Amino acid sequence: MPARLFNLALLVIGVCSLSLPLSAQDREPPVRTIALIGTGEVRAKPDIAVITLGVTTRAATAREALTRNNAAMTEILDHMQQAGIPPKDVQTSNFTVNPAYLYDNQNQQPPKIVGYDVSNQVTVIMRKLEAMGEVLDQVVSKGSNQIHGISFSIDDPQPLEDHDELRWISTTNRDEALSLPWIPADFPIVRALLESLGPRIGSNAPR
């Protein structure tokens, strides 16, 4: 089962000054540092799928290819709306009209236009993951010959981005590192210097 992971990293810098003889120019001694990073993760099951699907049609003329494509896409969009996918969750992502060429294998003749290809793709947000397989089967039966780019995400990640909770997890992780025996006992820890928060999404489908 994929999980969306929200990582919080706290970077702690320890600084100590070495007692070294001053030179004639009274130079300051070098400063040495130790960097310790604590991370926190929150896992959650995805509740939406984002899918790109569409239709590519070929015909002798661009008008005919466009007419066939529009008819197929209209049927597909109507079916998705009947399946409970609102229009706001369907956005056109790509639309192209290109000539189709026949090439001479002997390279003795210039390419010849033999028709026109029309491709229409939409990006769909599916909120009922349990019905996704059935919806896609129906979409294919209605004429879709392009389905790709399926990804899973979380519709509202804000509750997972509880900054206080992630900070507590990462701070605990960091403090455990601070107790390791390889850190000198007299090495002063100055302060938390850097903090970052960001999502990381799993790539597998939910089970």
pLDDT at 105: 84
Kind of pairing, strands 146-153 and 90-102? Answer: unpaired
Whose tokens are 């790509």? That residue is 94
d(CA 136, CA 97): 25
Give the SS3 label for residue 50. Answer: strand
Q: 3.90.76.10, 3.30.70.2970, 3.40.50.880, 3.40.250.10: which CATH number matches 48-153?
A: 3.30.70.2970
**In a 3-state reduction of DSSP, which class is residue 134?**
helix
74 vs 68, 88, 179, 190, CA distance in Å?
A: 10, 16, 64, 64
Phi-psi region of 157 (alpha: psi -120 to 50; beta: other; left: phi over 0): alpha
User: How many Cβ atoms are within 10 Å of 166's Cβ, its own excluded?
Assistant: 22
In DSSP notation, 23-58 reads -TT-PPPPEEEEEEEEEE-------EEEEEEEEEEE
Note the pLDDT of residue 157: 79
Q: Is 72 exposed, middle or buried (0-12, 13-18, 19+ CB in 10 A)?
A: buried
Q: In the sheet that 189-201 helps form, which strands lie side by side, from edge to edge? A: 31-40, 4-17, 189-201
**pLDDT tens, position by position, for the chain (207 residues)?**
455 554 544 444 444 444 445 554 556 666 666 665 666 666 778 999 999 999 999 999 999 999 999 999 999 999 999 999 999 999 999 999 999 999 988 888 899 999 999 999 999 999 999 999 999 999 999 999 999 889 999 898 777 766 565 666 666 655 665 555 555 555 555 544 445 555 554 444 444
pLDDT in tens, 110-155: 999 999 999 999 999 999 999 999 999 999 999 999 998 899 998 9
Q: Nearest-CA neighbor of 144 among 124, 173, 165, 164?
A: 124
Q: What is the pLDDT of residue 109?
A: 86
- Residue 11, pLDDT score: 46
Secondary structure percentages of the chain, helix, strand, coil, to 5: 25, 40, 30
**Contact between 41 and 134 (Cβ < 8 Å):** no
Query: What pLDDT does 95 receive?
Result: 96
Cα–Cα distance, 95 to 52 (Å, whole number): 12
Query: Which candidate, 189, 192, 188, 191, places its Cα nearest to that of 167?
Result: 192
Contact assessment for residue 160 and residue 4, using Cβ atoms and an 8 Å cutoff: yes
In angstroms, rounded to a whole number, what is the distance separating the alpha carbons of residues 75 and 83?
A: 12
User: Where do the domains of the chain lie?
Assistant: 4-45+157-201, 48-153
- Of the chain, the percentage scoring pLDDT greater than 70 comes to 57
pLDDT of residue 205: 45
